[in-house]
Structure 1
Amino acid sequence: MADVWIVVLRGLQYAAGALLLGLPAFMLYSQQAVGPLGLRWPRQVLIWAAAAAAVAAPAALVTQTAMMAGSLSEAVKPATLAFMVTGMGLGQALMVRTLAAVLALGAALLLRPGRPMWSVLTLLGVIVSASFAWTGHGAATEGAGHAAHLISDVLHALAASIWIGALAAFAVLVVRRPAEDPAWEASVARSLTGFAGVGATAVGTLIVTGLINSAFLVGPSKALELWTSPYGVLLMIKLVLFGLMLGLAAIHRFRLAPLMARDAGQALPHLKKSLTIEFAAALGILAVIAVMGTLPPPAAL
């Protein structure tokens, strides 16, 4: 039962982390496009995301401690938790994540929406997302490759959060479309075009760091035998979903964004459908990696 809770809590933290970094970052680099719209929902979403991370991270700490200690009653003892927090990188990362999430919640509640608020939340989102590297397989690599794998894992988590957070922003923008508003249509078209550089950087980073991580976790000798392990099967599913997201992102950039600028009425139904599919694929990837983090990679078998 604890294994199930670990997966659920990991998935919840991944989703919250993506929003805490990707959404305020989107509000920063898309300020000229979406600023005039006076959006209120990003603050509300970030409040819920920060609250979810602030609850899920310490819950994950207790659950992980229970797994290692053998029982929940042993895990909640102060001495056991103190050892987990002070003596293990996993516990330290979860505590840092909890603190960053609590600070993000306070910032989202107390600050007014605007560049200062988005900047603070983006910084805290970087801390939350980067901390995932210390609670995953990247931190377990030993020897000369430890630093390279850990850095790659950090960059992979940051790039994923940037992409998924922006995707969530676009999905909400399209779903909450006001009736016949030329200013809104122009803002969405500009934000789609403006995301091109950020999105390309995020995708490039994901591909490069994904290859590096796979070299450590799968290894060249087992790259053609992925179907022989549960981790490998899930990795193949993740790659298929990533390919689907990549294809849809290309359609958004090169077909729907120009069409949106010319004829929003024609572009919007296609954009809403493709964004829904892409967002579902992103959630599927988060669910997959939540499970993958609990499984031994092929290189360790």
Structure 2
Amino acid sequence: MGLRAAQYAAAAVALGLPAFMLYGGRVFGGQPPRWARPALGASAAALALLATAALALQTGVMAGALDQALNPEALGFVVGGTALGAAYAVRIAAGLLLLLAVLTLRPGRGLWLVSLSLGLVVAASFAWTGHGAATEGLGHGLHLASDIAHAVTALIWLGAVFSFVAMATRRIETDAAAKTELARALGGFARVGTLCVAVLLVTGLINSFYLVGMEGGFSLNETPYGRLLAVKLAAFAAMLGLAALHRFRSTPTLERGQGGLGGLRLSLGAELALGLLILALVGAMGMLAPPASL
């Protein structure tokens, strides 16, 4: 559970950061911020290491002995014979390719496009081994596509929040240009953020239809999965509230040059913390049977 949640967090930066640089990078005046490249490289390395650890652990569990975790034959069986092992291998390869791109390409559109492509593959790999992939019958394709879209959108949103936190935690209290840059970035995310919320709501409803069912929605507290889902929905609602606060209050105030950054830093940090909580909940929910399957 912990390794899966940590992989989600690394993927949020690996996918969300280059996406942010592509749709919102103009606020930096064509000069990417210094923190972008190291953050992207760190996420790539973390993703490769975490996926490797998860693959080794899964191999040891399937082999019945942890000392077999690095056995080449056992690893080959897990990677070639199971969807989960193949997904881990894809994440390891994507992480290493992303790290190579960060080390060899200059920060700019080319690096962001390569990184975005690899991040999309990583995001999709989570759905390949999730509940959506296990759905049988006519709904398989729709549920899997919805699961992939949900994961991609969530990681893009969290990647943007990470970027805002990185911008806000710099010492810019007395730097008017940097404050304006942050205000423009927050304002520029409005349309993308609205689209993210719409996609998350629609795909969330589709996924809930398959995993919870019509009747299960009225009895979420009766199963462990349902209780975690209820907490996830509450955390998502809180993130929506903070996002609305940033859009309709913090951003206009910052654009007018009024107030400090203390409150904004706190609310952005809270939004990021809620996002990480949701990733931890998703990691736990992926190991539980949904109400519709009981």
- Band of TM-score, shorter chain: over 0.9
Which structure dedicates a bigger proportion of its chain to helix? 1
Distance 1:113 1:37 in 2: 9
Greater CA deviation, 28-37 or 204-213?
28-37
Q: Following TM superposition, by how much is the alpha carbon of 1:60 offset from its aligned partner in structure 2, in angstroms?
A: 1.1
- Give the one of 122, 139, 143 matched to 2:137: 143
Does the CA contact (< 8 Å) of 1:230 and 1:295 recur in 2? yes
Partner residue, 1:207: 201
- Write out aligned runs for 1:260-279 (5 A): 260-263=254-257, 265-266=258-259, 268-279=261-272
Distance 2:272 2:256 in 1: 25
**Residue 68 (str. 1) matches residue 58 (str. 2):** no
Report the Cα distance in structure 1 between the residues aligned to 2:29 and 2:148, rounded to whole angstroms: 30
- Measure, in 2, the Cα distance between the counterparts of 1:45 and 1:214: 34
Comparing 267-276 with 126-135, which one deviates more in the overlay? 267-276
**8 A Cα contact 2:161 2:272, kept in partner:** yes
Following superposition, the deviation at residue 168 of structure 1 comes to 0.4
Answer with 195-204 or 26-35: which moved more: 26-35
Pairwise CA distance, 1:179: 4.3
Aligned partner of 1:81 in structure 2 is 75
Matched residue SS, 1:295: coil
Task: Name the structure 1 match of 2:177.
Answer: 183
Contact 2:11 2:43 in 1 (8 A): yes
Post-superposition offset of 1:279? 1.0
How far apart, in 2, do the equivalents of 1:229 and 1:81 lie? 34
Residue aligning to 1:4: none
Q: Is the 8 A contact 1:37 1:184 kept in 2?
A: no
| SS of equivalent residue, structure 1 residue 177 | coil
Name the counterpart of 1:21: 15
SS where residue 294 of structure 1 aligns? coil
Give distance in 1, aligned partners of 2:73 and 2:135: 28
Name the aligned partner's letter for residue 232 of structure 1.
G
Distance in 2, Cα, partners of 1:160 & 1:82: 32
The answer on whether the counterparts of 1:259 and 1:267 sit within 8 Å (CA) in structure 2 is no
Per-residue deviation, 1:122:
1.2
Per-residue CA shift, 1:188-240, capped at 9, x if unaligned? Answer: 11111110111111111111111111111111121111111111111101000
User: Which residue, 47, 52, 76 being the options, matches 1:58?
Assistant: 52
Contact 2:132 2:144 in 1 (8 A): yes
TM-score by length of 1: 0.93
Residue 244 (structure 2) pairs with residue 250 (structure 1): yes
Q: What is the rounded CA distance, in whole Å, between the counterparts of 2:29 and 2:212 in structure 1?
A: 44
Structure 2 counterparts to residues 161-240 of structure 1, below 5 A = 161-240=155-234
Alpha-carbon distance in 2 for matches of 1:235, 1:44: 34
Instruction: Letter of the 1:226 partner, please give it.
Output: L
Alpha-carbon deviation of 1:10? Answer: 0.3
When the two structures are superposed, what TM-score results if normalisation uses the length of structure 2?
0.95
Give the count of matched residue pairs: 294
Shift of 1:36: 5.2
SS at match of 2:201: helix
Aligned identity (percent) is 51
- Tell me whether 1:116 sits opposite 2:110 in the alignment: yes
Distance, in Å, in 2 between the alignment partners of 1:143 and 1:77 is 37
Q: Distance in 2 between matches of 1:288 and 1:204?
A: 21
Deviation at 1:67, TM superposition (A): 2.6
